[in-house]
């Protein structure tokens, strides 16, 4: 869609009638994120409600009004506003991490309404297009290790997606966009006496087959540099990159009892990460999860309250691929021998018992204590290989069948006390978790924080934390012993947060300096004496960095400026070192302007500095270090919002710049082309 079409659509929107009274149009149409932030209480930092300014550690909050202003469609677009999130989108799912650490997002713990929905197979925070913005009330992002309260996988931080269940809203949202992109979301909330019922359901589909993307993946020099290149079918018409997602959130509350579910289903290919020979079938993947929970809130007296909850989490993964055998004399794609192969893992499931209690000694002092216990069963990997005679079912020999079942138990406690004098306060909190689980080491995980507030508008915070990530079933293959030590993370952080006013402009600022060190990477090493490959624990990786986010508002304006700097370090794994392959600098600028009572325009600028990445040499002979250029992209959102209706036009990559994410997980492909300029129409109706 060109600029003429976009201007025509904007002109039509401005002149289209919207059925809403003038009184309604004047109410609540320009909510201010800075005011919301200063008044907001967050839960992600301490597993209890506390003011954002005095919360322990560094917490970023992105609320519904801010999401609507910038026109963000889903969680991955929302996370782009966080100054120190690292990711590389390869058109399938969102690998990455936080604060300069990157990989498969296994160091970030994913929560929905405070409940873990981490992938059981690889401990991943699995983010696709299955987190539409219309599903989200707000996102709380906690930076740094937090295993003391949350257990494994919170080594880099925590993302807590708070849904719109229970928000007393009913809404229908629709999106239509290029590349055959469609989205629909329905939100229903109903209250009757002491019974409340809420439902949130969404559907997303997209071909994701931009012309520029097709041309890019057919260029071996720029893209794959794979041994397969000479034999690939480079017909761009055969490229396919489609995806479909379904989500369902539901919850019912009656007095102090509650029951709910979070369900996700996805169908997609492997994007442009897995280089295949033909791009017709590639890896057709079907995956999904559901989390069912039942609990009761309990208040024994005004000082002692808690909850008891039982949950059941289930996931599955199915994959179809066109497997290829390459004859020695093969000269072209037509010489290859190909057959269909299917690979299933699962279903896998987890039964979990969780209880947490808060004892309020007085207004300034409280204890939090809790227990987590869960039993996990990982579904076995089974491959289905079709031959002329029959179908062969087999499990790969390296699959750790004896590690498919495991139990975990954890006790945790946190003490918090606040000292007040005059307008000043000092809050001290300290926590400890003892975690014990099968096949890996037990651990004591401490976390301590000091928050000093000279007044109600400013806070200085010092935090120390430790965290761990237990090995996955994929990492247990080829282990030397029966157990593997967990990967660990240690962090020291100094945070300064403040709200202030200047010339009728209100500001809220978050600044943090930190040092984080990860140890115990898993590496497959060839034993020279035994002549076999083994998995061993080795290596370390340290990061020192700075991050800052400044939000502001004034009259008809509001916006944000964010910046991050990461001190490059080398990762040591075994006897080798590798240069850190993430951007040293990131700068993000957002601006929203109120044109009238109902019309707004917003722009968001995202800049990443250049980055080095390791890539296959073009003519073979090992690898070389390639440089991915720096890039800046601009997104634009123009929309009209009344009390009941909202309609808007979102233009991604306004100036149609080619920009790339580097590959932080391997040597091929070299880099991933991101979306060219494209337009989407977004509509919302409240009823």
Of residues 615 and 468, more confidently modeled: 468
Neighbours of 22 (CB within 10 A): 9
Give the chain's mean pLDDT: 88
Give the DSSP letter string of 256-313: TEEEEEEEEEEEE--TTTS--SSSSSSEEEEEEEEEEEEEEEEEEETTEEEEEEEEEE
Residue 132 DSSP class: B
pLDDT at 351: 98
Whether 18 shows a pLDDT value over 50: the answer reads no
pLDDT on residue 17: 40
Query: DSSP assignment of 141-152, as one string?
Result: EEES--HHHH-T
* Cα separation values, 562 from 57, 97, 461, 548, 658, Å: 18, 18, 19, 6, 23
Does residue 198 register a pLDDT over 90? Answer: yes
| CATH for the 34-686 domain, from 3.40.710.10, 1.10.645.10, 2.40.170.20, 3.90.550.10 | 2.40.170.20
Strands 115-116 and 108-112, sheet pairing: antiparallel
Q: What is the mean pLDDT of residues 29-40?
A: 66
Among the listed residues 363, 313, 320, the one whose alpha carbon sits nearest the alpha carbon of residue 340? 320
- pLDDT at position 571 is 63
Q: How many CA atoms lie within 13 A of 622 on its CB side?
A: 2
Residue 458, pLDDT > 70, answer yes
Residue 418: which pLDDT band, with cuts at 50, 70 and 90? very high
Percent share of the chain, pLDDT over 90 = 60
pLDDT digits (tens, 9 = 90+) for 436-449: 988 888 889 999 99
Cα 677 to Cα 566, 635, 658, distances in angstroms: 29, 9, 9
Is the pLDDT score of 528 beyond 90?
A: no
Q: What is the pLDDT of residues 96-125, one digit of tens each?
A: 999 998 888 989 999 999 999 999 988 888
| pLDDT above 70 (res 30) | no
Q: Give me the pLDDT at residue 324, please.
A: 84
Per-residue tokens: 364? 């300034």
The pTM is what? 0.92
User: pLDDT of 615-632, one tens digit each?
Assistant: 888 777 777 888 899 999
Q: What are the tens digits of pLDDT across the range 648-685?
A: 999 999 999 999 999 887 777 889 999 999 999 999 99
pLDDT, average across residues 256-269: 95
Residue 31 has pLDDT above 60, yes or no: no
Beta bridge partners of 563: 548, 587
Q: If you average pLDDT over residues 558-569, what whole number do you get?
A: 90
Beta-sheet strands, E only, within 397-528: 405-421, 424-437, 443-455, 458-469, 487-502, 505-526
pLDDT tier, 303 (very low <50, low <70, confident <90, very high otherwise): very high
pLDDT at residue number 222: 82
Is residue 610 a contact partner of residue 626, using CB atoms and an 8 Å limit? no
- Give the tens place of pLDDT for each residue, 362-416: 999 999 999 999 999 999 999 887 767 778 889 988 888 888 999 999 999 999 9
Q: What is the pLDDT of residue 155?
A: 93
Compute the 3-state secondary structure of the chain and give helix, strand, coil in percent, each to the nearest 5.
10, 55, 35
Give the residue-averaged pLDDT of 457-480: 86
- Across the strands, what pairs with 567? 544
Which range has the worst mean pLDDT, 42-51, 266-275, 504-513? 266-275
Query: What is the model's pLDDT at position 178?
Result: 96
Local confidence band at 7 (pLDDT 50, 70, 90 cut-offs): very low
Specify the pLDDT at position 413.
Answer: 97
User: What's the whole-number mean pLDDT along residues 555-565?
Assistant: 94
Q: What is the pLDDT of residues 130-166, one digit of tens each?
A: 999 999 999 999 999 988 999 888 999 999 999 999 9
Inform me whether the pLDDT recorded for 65 exceeds 60: yes
Query: Which is more confidently placed, 222 or 347?
Result: 347
In this prediction, residue 32 carries a pLDDT of 57
pLDDT beyond 90 at 179:
yes
> In this prediction, what percent of the chain has a pLDDT beyond 70?
89
**pLDDT of residue 249 exceeding 80:** yes
Q: Give the confidence band of 569 by pLDDT, cuts at 50, 70, 90.
A: low
Instruction: Tell me the mean pLDDT in the region 65-77.
Output: 95
Per-residue pLDDT at 584: 92
Q: Which two three-digit tokens encode residue 130?
A: 């299955």
Q: What is the pLDDT of residues 326-339, one digit of tens each?
A: 888 888 888 888 88
Question: CA 165, CA 191: separation in Å to the nearest integer?
Answer: 12
Which burial class, exposed, middle or buried, applies to 202 when counting CB atoms under 10 A from its CB (0-12, 13-18, 19+)? buried
């Amino acid at each position: 869609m060109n600029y003429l079409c976009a201007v025509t659509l904007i002109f039509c929107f401005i002149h289209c009638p919207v059925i809403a009274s003038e009184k309604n149009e004047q109410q609540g149409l320009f909510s201010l994120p800075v005011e919301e932030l200063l008044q907001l209480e967050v839960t992600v930092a301490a597993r209890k409600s506390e003011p954002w300014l005095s919360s322990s550690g560094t917490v970023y909050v992105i609320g519904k009004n801010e999401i609507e202003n910038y026109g963000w469609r889903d969680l991955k677009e929302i996370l782009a506003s966080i100054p120190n999130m690292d990711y590389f989108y390869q058109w399938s799912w969102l690998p990455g991490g936080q604060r300069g650490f990157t990989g498969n997002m296994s160091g970030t713990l994913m929560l929905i309404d405070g409940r873990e929905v981490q992938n059981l197979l690889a401990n991943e925070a699995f983010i696709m297009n299955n987190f539409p913005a219309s599903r989200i009330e707000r996102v709380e992002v906690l930076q740094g290790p937090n295993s003391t309260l949350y257990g494994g996988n919170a080594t880099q931080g925590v993302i807590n997606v708070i849904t719109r269940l229970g928000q007393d809203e009913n809404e229908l949202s629709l999106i239509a966009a290029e590349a055959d992109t469609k989205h629909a979301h329905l939100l229903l909330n109903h209250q009757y006496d002491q019974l409340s019922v809420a439902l949130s359901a969404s559907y997303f589909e997209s071909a994701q087959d931009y012309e520029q993307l097709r041309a890019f993946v057919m260029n071996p020099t720029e893209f794959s540099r794979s041994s397969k290149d000479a034999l690939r079918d480079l017909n761009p018409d055969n490229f396919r990159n489609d995806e479909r997602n379904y989500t369902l959130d539901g919850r019912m509350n009656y007095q102090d009892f509650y029951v709910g579910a979070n369900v996700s289903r996805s169908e997609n290919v492997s994007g442009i990460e897995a280089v295949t020979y033909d791009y017709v079938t590639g890896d057709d993947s079907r995956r999904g999860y559901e989390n069912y929970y039942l609990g009761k809130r309990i208040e024994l007296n005004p000082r002692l309250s808690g909850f008891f909850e039982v949950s059941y989490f289930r996931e599955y993964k199915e994959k179809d691929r066109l497997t290829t055998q390459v004859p020695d004399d093969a000269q072209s794609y037509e010489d290859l021998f190909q057959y269909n192969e299917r690979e299933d893992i699962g279903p896998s499931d987890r039964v979990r018992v969780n209880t947490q209690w808060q004892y309020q000694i007085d207004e300034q002092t409280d204890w939090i204590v809790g227990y987590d216990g869960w039993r996990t069963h990982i579904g076995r990997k089974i491959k289905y290989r079709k031959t002329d005679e029959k179908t062969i079912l087999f499990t790969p020999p390296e699959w750790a069948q004896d590690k498919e079942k495991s139990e975990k138990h954890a006790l945790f406690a946190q003490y918090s006390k606040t000292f007040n004098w005059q307008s000043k306060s000092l809050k001290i909190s300290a926590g400890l978790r003892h975690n014990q689980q099968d096949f890996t080491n037990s651990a004591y995980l401490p976390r301590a924080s000091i928050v000093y507030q000279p007044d109600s508008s400013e806070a200085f915070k010092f935090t120390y934390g430790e965290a761990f990530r237990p090995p996955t079933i994929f990492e247990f293959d080829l282990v030397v012993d029966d157990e593997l030590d967990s990967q660990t993370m240690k962090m020291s952080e100094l945070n300064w947060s403040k709200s202030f006013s200047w010339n009728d402009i209100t500001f809220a600022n978050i600044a943090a300096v930190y040092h984080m060190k990860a140890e115990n990477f898993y590496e497959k090493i060839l034993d020279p004496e035994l002549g076999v490959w083994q998995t061993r624990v080795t290596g370390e990786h340290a990061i020192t960095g700075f991050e800052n986010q400044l939000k502001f508002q004034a009259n008809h304006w509001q916006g944000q400026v964010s910046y991050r700097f990461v001190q490059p370090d080398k990762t040591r794994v075994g006897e080798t070192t590798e240069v850190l392959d993430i951007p040293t600098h990131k700068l993000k600028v957002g601006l929203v302007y109120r044109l009238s009572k109902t019309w707004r325009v917003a722009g968001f600028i995202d800049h990443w500095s250049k980055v080095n990445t390791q890539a296959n040499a073009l003519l073979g002979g090992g690898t070389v270090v390639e440089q991915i250029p720096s890039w800046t992209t601009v997104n634009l959102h123009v929309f009209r919002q009344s009390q009941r209706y909202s309609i808007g036009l979102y233009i991604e990559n306004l100036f149609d710049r080619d920009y790339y994410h580097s590959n932080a997980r391997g040597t091929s492909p070299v880099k991933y082309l991101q979306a060219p300029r494209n337009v989407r129409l977004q509509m919302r109706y409240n009823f």
